[in-house]
Chain A
Amino acid sequence: MSVSARRNVTVWTVLKWAVAIMVAVIAVFPVWWMVNVVFSLPGEPVSINPRLWPTSMSAGIDKIRMIFAETAYMRAYAVSLAYAGLTIFGVLLVGSLAAFEFALFEFRGKNVLFAVILLSLMVPTAATIIPTYLLTSSLGWLNSMQGLVVPGLASAFGLFMLVQFMRAIPRDMIEAARLDGANHFQIYWFVALPLSRNAMITLAILTFMQTWGNYMWPLIVGTRPDMYTVGQVVGLFNAPLSHQTVDVVMTANLLAAIPPLVFFLIFQKQIVEGIAMSGTKG
């Protein structure tokens, strides 16, 4: 390798690292600041000096303990986890079944149907939330898990995303499986699904984020405290004229952010490991 080529590699590497670290700071610092606010004494000014480090671990732990004791936060975790988990399972199943068809096959009415489904993506949820709520109520599903989960299962977002990923599946693999005697469903299960692993995991992560952050729907469907999601419990603290001090409010909010983070960390590993095993770029 010539001298100039070696130097080029170094410059590029330095630049790469500098940019990566700077962006990481921009992404992470605001959150780090919040953590420091949580672990500080109440009554201290929080927005004036950027908090570079926590000042009181015990105060933070006290606050966390108080929140768990006084609100049904644990129960809300359970409700939210169930809501997210069931939604992910349903969306992935129902969506992949349909995406398989729309991506790889032709059948009568396919284009019209796909267009209609895509159109639904373009109607803001706010416009349909009341009619959906009234329908859910007339089914007797208010304050129930099925009321929370089922209306969201036919996700056009999920379908659209999976279709785009599944389009890349080579047709000859499908033909080969059919010649091997596999029926339609078996092709889906044994060929298409494994090849869409990345897409499915990514969709699972994104669905988790969307469900976890969903506010309006659980608010009007789950009005009783035993069906409160984490979002609603946090909403109790976020009322602007509440008598709570701000660090307690921030603690409640931070506690809400932990499960999605953990979920993401677990499943992101899966993608990387999955690639390493299948021998593609990793």
Chain B
Amino acid sequence: MSSQRSHVPHYLMIAPFVVLFAAFFLYPILSGFYYSFHDWNGVEVPRFVGLANYEKLLGSRDFSRAMWNLVVYISITVPVGILVAFGLALLVDSFTGRWASFFRNAYFLPVVLPAFLAATIWRWIYAPNFGLLNMILGWFGLPSVNFLNDTGTMIYALIAVDVWVSAGFNMVILLAGLKNIPAELYEAARLDGANKWQQIVHITVPMLGPIMFFVITYSIISAMQVFDKPWLLTGSSFSEYGGRRGALLFPVMDMMGRAFGEVRFGEASAYGFLLTLAIVFLTMVTFGIRKWRERS
């Protein structure tokens, strides 16, 4: 059918996007890829070094630590964050009128805060001995925990902050999706005798399919690029970052440190592309799972 119509209108419509994309995304990506094979400090002529940057990174202890932290981080924060966001979306959806607005706005508030503010607030909540959380622990007679400096708890402290912010973000997207589900479907199901839980499983979840897929995929992609929260929670600077024993060292942070701290842009680019490979791999897995579910 489509071969009968001209393709020109399609290309015209996507042209603005594609042109801007090619200039400001494709070209810098290819450029960065080119530089990853060079030793470059931004000013002098880049010196070709082949795979040297990649070899150095793959053998570097910091790289392994950053990647391991990333795996742990993503495997917890994405599922937890999305479940919480979905729960919140359902919760808000079950209220109407003023109360719905009130709760929706309250849950979105953390998203609105500048990252520095959120990090400062949480540093105080987590402070040892007299921070809010430790005060509460004290009421129950439990000893103080140094959340942001104990290598056993740091990554979980970070995940809590991340869920606090991302739940509101994802909730808003899921809410828009929920609002798009026609009320008649729920009416029909109720008349058929389905209870709330059955309605959620058989109507809400399937109808939210494409949007949930988007939220999951985007959450994975952005979680893999985590930077500002661990950076701010550990009071990092370009000469010292990643927290105690690098427990909050993540790939993008390491990359920025090599770019602006040591002025090695070639190495930083190589880092970026190794990370990209990991992200691509994970995303393809997600797409693959979806295709497999669609088929069955």
Contact = CB atoms under 8 A, between A and B. Distances in A.
Given A31-B109, A121-B221, A126 B13 contact: no
A31 B113 contact: yes
Contact of B9 (A16, A121, A128, A184): A184
B57 interface: no
Nearest to B271: A127
A76 interface: no
Interface residues of B, number: 103
Interface string B110-143: 1111111110111011010011100100000000
Most buried by B among A31, A159, A261, A281: A281
A8 to B, nearest CB: 10
B28 interface: yes
Given A168-B210, A184-B9, A281-B183, A123 B14 contact: no
Interface of A: 16, 19-20, 23-24, 26-28, 30-31, 33-34, 46-48, 50, 93-95, 97-98, 100-102, 105-108, 110, 113, 116-128, 130-132, 134-135, 150-154, 156-157, 159-161, 164-165, 167-168, 183-185, 188, 198-199, 201-202, 205-206, 209, 213, 215, 231, 234, 238, 240, 250, 253-254, 256-257, 260-261, 264-265, 268-269, 271-272, 275, 280-282
Given A26-B164, A120-B29, A126-B272, A206 B169 contact: yes
A158 B237 CA distance: 32
A107 B7 contact: yes
A106 B2 CA distance: 7
B52 interface: no
Given A126-B259, A164-B211, A265-B105, A27 B17 contact: no
B25 A24 contact: no
A257 B23 CA distance: 32
Interface stretch (B61-69, B145-153, B173-181): B173-181
Interface centre among A164, A238, A282 (most CB of B within 10 A): A164
A128 B10 contact: no
Given A27-B109, A97-B17, A165-B211, 12 more contacts: A23-B88, A27-B110, A94-B16, A94-B20, A100-B13, A107-B10, A119-B280, A135-B23, A164-B214, A199-B176, A213-B115, A256-B114
Query: Taking chain B's interface residues, is the majority helix, strand, or loop, or is none over half, making it mixed?
Result: helix
B109 A281 contact: no
A66 to B, nearest CB: 19
Interface of B: 2, 7, 9-11, 13-14, 16-18, 20-21, 23-29, 31-32, 35, 42, 88, 91-96, 100-118, 120-122, 124-125, 127, 130-132, 135, 164, 168-169, 172-173, 175-183, 186, 210-211, 213-214, 217-218, 221, 224-225, 227-228, 235, 237, 251-252, 255-256, 259, 265, 268-269, 271-273, 275-276, 279-280, 283
